[in-house]
Amino acid sequence: MKNKIEIIPAIDLIGGKCVRLSQGDYNQKTVYNENPLEVAKMFEAAGIKRLHLVDLDGAKAKHIVNHKVLETISTKTNLIIDFGGGLKSDKDLEIAFNSGAKMVTGGSIAVKDRDTFLSWLEKYGSEKIILGADAKNGNIAVGGWIETTELPVIEFISDFYKKGIVKVISTDISRDGMLTGPAFDLYEKIMNRLPAVEIIASGGIATMNDILKLNEMDVPGVIVGKAIYENRISLKEIEEFIKQ
């Protein structure tokens, strides 16, 4: 019996509110709910176990900002929270874990300050540190997706896998928030090259069929944001999928 894909909803935070950006553009922002805890509780009620919480203010400020929201959700729900956005220092990580994050995601830091990222991996272990591998045209993008590097995504993941990374969130940013379907080919390539990596697909999920296709491909996890907020995928559909 193969494992079923884990559906992980995303809450992106700006000013303590639940928002979504299109293609990571802060000028293309939609506020979906003033109260992220309310949203988190709705997810939990649907049988969802895990939450991807992104501090977009933190990503811009280059240090953790919305840790109070993290603390509120972690103390008032049983969701397993992975937290990312602006984590640049050991202090940021301490605040995130002390505020209730079970895992943290590092993307830009893994590119720009590799030693710090590897020291976190050594200190906290591969169950708690997730590699963020955001891709644009097959190469790694960083800095809230503002810069694209010359690093091919698969080489980048492979390099950190050799250092002990197991969990990877890979977002195809050309698709993020665009509801155009995920980068199936990218995930297939990653899984063929690195079958032991627990890849979490992110970006472009538009319908339940996208999730079902990723499930067929044996992708371990999927992050869903805009499709839920715009009712392209209902929480009822997710609940039924989880119960099957």
Q: How far lies 200's CA from each of 24, 65, 172, 222, in Å?
A: 18, 25, 11, 5
Confidence of residue 119 (pLDDT cuts 50, 70, 90): very high
The pLDDT of residue 156 is above 60: yes
Q: Which of 12, 57, 176, 210 is catalytic?
A: 12
Q: Which of 82, 92, 134, 210 is catalytic?
A: 134
Q: What percent of the chain has pLDDT over 90?
A: 83
The pLDDT of residue 26 is above 90: no
Q: Does any domain span residue 189?
A: yes
Confidence of residue 145 (pLDDT cuts 50, 70, 90): low
Q: Check if 12 is active-site.
A: yes
Count of residues for the chain?
244
- pLDDT, residue 111, reads 93
Q: What percent of the chain has pLDDT over 70?
A: 98
Q: Report DSSP letters for the chain, one per residue.
A: -PPPPEEEEEEEEETTEEEEEETTEEEEEEEEES-HHHHHHHHHHTT--EEEEEEHHHHHHTS---HHHHHHHHHHS--EEEEESS--SHHHHHHHHHTT-SEEEESHHHHH-HHHHHHHHHHH-TTTEEEE--EETTEEEETTTTEEEEEEHHHHHHHHHHTT--EEEEEBTTTTTT-S---HHHHHHHHHH-TTSEEEEES---SHHHHHHHHHTT-SEEEE-HHHHTTSS-HHHHHHHHH-
Segment 179-199 shows an average pLDDT of: 95
Query: Could you give the number of structural domains in the chain?
Result: 1
The per-residue pLDDT of the chain, averaged, comes to 94
Q: Check if 176 is active-site.
A: no
More confident residue, 170 or 21: 170
Q: Does any domain span residue 131?
A: yes
Q: What is the pTM of this model?
A: 0.95
Q: Does any domain span residue 217?
A: yes
Q: Does any domain span residue 109?
A: yes
Q: Does any domain span residue 1?
A: no
CATH number at residue 83: 3.20.20.70
- pLDDT, residue 117, reads 98
Owning domain of residue 182: 6-243
How confident is the model over 202-244, as pLDDT tens digits? 999 999 999 999 999 999 999 999 999 999 999 999 999 999 9
The pLDDT of residue 40 is above 90: yes
Q: Does any domain span residue 143?
A: yes
Q: Does any domain span residue 56?
A: yes
Q: How far lies 131's CA from each of 2, 23, 167, 202, in Å?
A: 24, 20, 6, 13
Q: Does any domain span residue 193?
A: yes
